[in-house]
Structure 1
Amino acid sequence: MITLNDYLYSGDTVLKILKKYTEDLRQSAAQTGNEVDVRHCEFLSQIMELLEHNDFLTAQSQKIREFYKYMAREYPYLSFTFKGRIKSLIRAEAKFNGYVVEYIYDYYTKNGTYPPVPELQERLNCFRDLIAYRIVISMPKCHLKNPDDGEREEIRYLYEIANVLKGFLEERGFTAEPAGGVKESDSPLLSDAVRPYYRDYIAHVDPDGYRSLHITFFDNSAKCYMEMQLRTKRMDDIAEIGPANHLGYEKKQESDRARRDAIPEGECVYFDEAYERCRRLHELELAKLDVNMFAAIDNSLINDGCGLYRGRLILPYEHLSRFQNDLID
């Protein structure tokens, strides 16, 4: 079995590692007739295209910047950041194989058999977040009449921004993708016109505390998908450095082990290989890797300038609140 781990000690760049891994996986898939690995190669090729031919990102980010300028005019008292990234190679690989494990497990526990390969391949066409942008807002306390109202006010603004975002970007060449009922919002703050397009993790909080609004767009100029996430600063902290990050990871480990115990080893090669790839990625000691432009002291202190582990940054904008001493009337 071919795994990404085997290519992370060569001293090559991320792009060279990705090319070599994809080529070898494609040859292996042809020899073994592994149809899921064929889809896997197509997924890896998508990432390669983004890394090799990303001139479109300049035009895309300029359109996103127009919404940044809109917010600066409309919400001068809010602080907010706009961030963008291409999903990192390690996390993209883990997500693809994690989907294989999850779908086969869910299908097996429900039906007592394994899913048809075409159905599994179709499930693996759902990736829409290889490019993602995030808007994080915060209302400084100096602009609140009652500091205790901070979270409520921020959430109100977040939904207000969500109501405008869809139409704003569609006027600039994007098409919003329906969410298909996933995490459909029941918040009265979200307008009916945009409700079918958002996955609302604020109205439907995950067990680990994760909260955010997600919407997916198709960029008609670049012919690719991208995801927009909207959060308050507190939501972003919980997701990045709080319980939704650490506890979620631990729960995922426990869930993965339970899935391995439930599926008889050797019966489904697609499950076995995807599970093993996930397991090896989870156990990576990042400080021991030899990847050009990547450095890690340990699994917490990481300097990733090449998109191996943390993703390649494509958009940093920051707006500081218009500060004044007097409270807003």
Structure 2
Amino acid sequence: MVTLNDYLYSGDTVLKILQRYHNDLKEDAMKTKNGVDIIHCNFLLQLTELLEHNDFLTSQSQRLREFYKYMSNEYPFLAFAFKGRIKSLIRAEEKFNGNIVEHVYDYYGKNHAFPSVTELKQEMGPIRDLIAYRIVISMPACHLKDGENRDEIELKYLYKIANELPGFLEEMGFSAEIYGIPGKDPSDMITETLRPYYRDYIKNPSPYGYRSLHITFYDNQSRSYLEVQIRTKQMDDYAEIGPAHHLGYEKRQDEERSRRDTVPSGECTYFDEAYERGMLLQGLDLSKLDVNMFGAVNNQLVNDGCGLYRGRLILPYEHLSRFQNDIID
């Protein structure tokens, strides 16, 4: 079995690692007639092309910047940041293999059989968050009126911004995708016609407390998907440096192990290989890796200059609220 881990100790660049991994995986897939590995190769090719030909991101980020400028004019009292990133190689690989494990597990639980390659391909679909932008808002204490609750005020503006975003980006060449959380309705604060488009993890937090508002767009100019996340600074802290970050990792490991216990070993090659690849990535000691422009003291102290472990930044725009920075351009 070919794994990404095999290529992380050579001193190569991320792009070279991707190319070598793709080529070797494809060669092995052709020999073993492994249809899921062919799908995997196509995914790696998509990620490679994104890194090789990312000039479109300049245009994309500039069009998104127009909404940043709109917010600066409409909500000068808010502090907010726009962040963009391309999903890191390790996270992208984890997600692809995790999706296989999840879909095979769900299918087996319902049918006591394993899905065909065609069924698996249809279930998985494209990964829509390889490119993601995040809008983080905060209401400075100096702009709160007596008796106002900061959390309530921030939520009010968060959902107001969410209601304005799809229509604004539609004019910039983006189309919102219907991609909600199955069986979970978003907040009533979202306009009714927009509710099918939003995944509301604020009203429906994850089991480990993650809260955010997500929406997926298709960029008609670059013909690519992107995800926009909207959250408050408190939610962002909880996700990035709080319990959601650590508990989510631990819960993911527990879920993977429970799925391994449920699906009989040796009966589904697709599941077995995806599970093993995921476990190998989760067990990485980052300090031992040898990848160009990457360094780590341990799995917390990481200096990633290549997008191996942490996403590659596309844009950082910051608006520190009125009286702190008044110049937008």
When the two structures are superposed, what TM-score results if normalisation uses the length of structure 1?
Answer: 0.96
In the aligned structure 2, how far is the partner of 1:211 from the partner of 1:231?
A: 7
Matched, 1:68 2:41: no
1:24 is displaced (CA, Å) by 0.5
1:184 is displaced (CA, Å) by 4.8
Aligned residues between the structures: 324
Are the aligned partners of 1:82 and 1:315 in contact in 2 as well (CA < 8 Å)?
yes
The one-letter code matched in structure 2 to 1:241 is: I
In the aligned structure 2, how far is the partner of 1:251 from the partner of 1:258?
A: 10
In the aligned structure 2, how far is the partner of 1:230 from the partner of 1:180?
A: 15
The one-letter code matched in structure 1 to 2:159 is: Y
Which runs of 4 or more aligned residues in structure 1 lie more than 2 Å from their structure 2 counterparts after TM superposition?
A: 180-186
The one-letter code matched in structure 2 to 1:56 is: F
Matched with 1:195 is 195
Are the aligned partners of 2:35 and 2:117 in contact in 1 as well (CA < 8 Å)?
yes
The one-letter code matched in structure 2 to 1:298 is: N
1:180 is displaced (CA, Å) by 4.9
Are the aligned partners of 1:84 and 1:315 in contact in 2 as well (CA < 8 Å)?
yes
Matched with 1:138 is 138
Matches within 5 A, 1:166-177: 166-177=166-177
Matches within 5 A, 1:67-106: 67-106=67-106
Matches within 5 A, 1:205-284: 205-284=205-284
Gaps spanning 5+ residues in structure 1: where?
325-329
Matched with 2:58 is 58
Alpha carbons of 1:78 and 1:180: their partners in 2 closer, same or farther (altered >3 Å)? closer
Are the aligned partners of 1:184 and 1:196 in contact in 2 as well (CA < 8 Å)?
no
**SS of corresponding position for 1:194:** helix
Matched with 1:32 is 32
Matched with 2:124 is 124
**SS of corresponding position for 2:149:** helix
Q: Which stretch has the larger CA shift, 287-296 or 183-192?
A: 183-192
Matched with 1:297 is 297
Alpha carbons of 1:146 and 1:113: their partners in 2 closer, same or farther (altered >3 Å)? farther
1:109 is displaced (CA, Å) by 1.7
Give RMSD over aligned pairs.
1.3
1:221 is displaced (CA, Å) by 0.6
In the aligned structure 2, how far is the partner of 1:244 from the partner of 1:186?
A: 20
Are the aligned partners of 1:185 and 1:198 in contact in 2 as well (CA < 8 Å)?
no
Can you list the C-alpha shifts for 1:227-256, whole angstroms capped at 9, x where unaligned? 100000011111111121101111111111
Matched with 1:4 is 4
1:145 is displaced (CA, Å) by 1.5
In the aligned structure 1, how far is the partner of 2:161 from the partner of 2:46?
A: 30
The one-letter code matched in structure 1 to 2:70 is: Y
1:193 is displaced (CA, Å) by 2.3
Matched with 1:149 is 149
Identical residues among aligned pairs (%): 65
When the two structures are superposed, what TM-score results if normalisation uses the length of structure 2?
Answer: 0.96
Q: Which stretch has the larger CA shift, 243-252 or 157-166?
A: 243-252
Alpha carbons of 1:132 and 1:154: their partners in 2 closer, same or farther (altered >3 Å)? same
1:147 is displaced (CA, Å) by 6.3
**SS of corresponding position for 2:206:** coil
Are the aligned partners of 2:260 and 2:275 in contact in 1 as well (CA < 8 Å)?
yes
In the aligned structure 2, how far is the partner of 1:132 from the partner of 1:216?
A: 9
Can you list the C-alpha shifts for 1:39-84, whole angstroms capped at 9, x where unaligned? 0011111110110000101100000100000000000010000000
In the aligned structure 2, how far is the partner of 1:215 from the partner of 1:255?
A: 25
1:264 is displaced (CA, Å) by 1.2
**SS of corresponding position for 1:129:** coil
Are the aligned partners of 1:183 and 1:204 in contact in 2 as well (CA < 8 Å)?
no
In the aligned structure 2, how far is the partner of 1:177 from the partner of 1:147?
A: 39
